[in-house]
Amino acid sequence: MTMKTLAVLSKRKMSSGLVSSRILKRMKCFSYLFRSIAGKMVLVSCSFAAFTLATPRVNVLAQQRGPVQRVVQGKVMDKSDAPLQGAVVYLKDGHSLAVKSFISGDQGGYRFGQLAQNTDYEIWAENNGKKSAVKTISSFDSKNQFVINLKIEK
């Protein structure tokens, strides 16, 4: 019941006379109680909505998987594009300067996994004292899969 309704009731005469002040007090008390509860509910719901909108939405599956890792793979070949078995492929971390190595397989293949997204890398191959050109993987490149074939001139 609104305050306007209460005011109209207090001024209106009923068949038995004026509305008793006791009933009016109860009606005012109920109206105040209702407004305070409704006001608190509105405040709580607005606060919840503001919190929900302000909180960044993150895919739950992405949180479980963790950060995406990069992979670089390819083949080591000689100048006639034949695969070189036993060539050593080097991967240098541009941040820590650590160097990983991989010995190419039967088909000249190599693979480095679990590379950080925010790090630059240099990769090259060596075989019998000969070295391929140094290739770079930039941290600004958004790809997660790199295929780099390295050619060693003999």
Q: In terms of DSSP H, where are the helices of 3-150? A: 3-11, 21-54, 60-65
Are 103 and 125 in contact by the 8 Å Cβ rule? The answer is: no
On whether residue 91 sits in a domain, the answer given is yes
Q: Is 83 in the same domain as 136? A: yes
Are 123 and 91 in contact by the 8 Å Cβ rule? The answer is: yes
On whether residue 134 sits in a domain, the answer given is yes
On whether residue 62 sits in a domain, the answer given is no
**Could you give the CA distance from residue 88 to residue 101 in angstroms, rounded to a whole number?**
7
* Identity of the residue numbered 67: P
Residue 68 pLDDT grade (very low, low, confident, very high; cuts 50, 70, 90)? confident
Q: Is 89 in the same domain as 134? A: yes
Number of separate domains in the chain: 2
Closest by CA to 117, choosing from 147, 140, 101, 91, is 140
**Could you give the CA distance from residue 69 to residue 113 in angstroms, rounded to a whole number?**
7
Q: Is 44 in the same domain as 113? A: no
Q: Is 80 in the same domain as 40? A: no
61, 97, 116, 144, 146 from 66: Cα distances, Å: 9, 24, 12, 14, 20
Residue 82 structure tokens:
């034949």
Total count of residues recorded for the chain = 154
Q: Is 141 in the same domain as 77? A: yes
On whether residue 19 sits in a domain, the answer given is yes
Question: What's the pTM value of the predicted model, to 2 decimals?
Answer: 0.57
CATH of the domain at 126: 2.60.40.10
Average pLDDT rounded to a whole number, residues 130-151: 94
Q: Is 134 in the same domain as 77? A: yes
- Residue range of the domain that includes 24: 3-54
Q: Is 27 in the same domain as 75? A: no
On whether residue 72 sits in a domain, the answer given is yes
Q: Is 141 in the same domain as 74? A: yes
Residue 144 structure tokens:
């997660």
On whether residue 28 sits in a domain, the answer given is yes
- What pLDDT digit, counting tens, does each position of 118-131 carry? 999 999 999 999 99
On whether residue 73 sits in a domain, the answer given is yes
Q: Is 21 in the same domain as 74? A: no
Q: Is 140 in the same domain as 80? A: yes
* Identity of the residue numbered 37: I
What's residue 9's pLDDT?
56
- What pLDDT digit, counting tens, does each position of 72-99 carry? 999 999 999 999 999 999 999 999 999 9
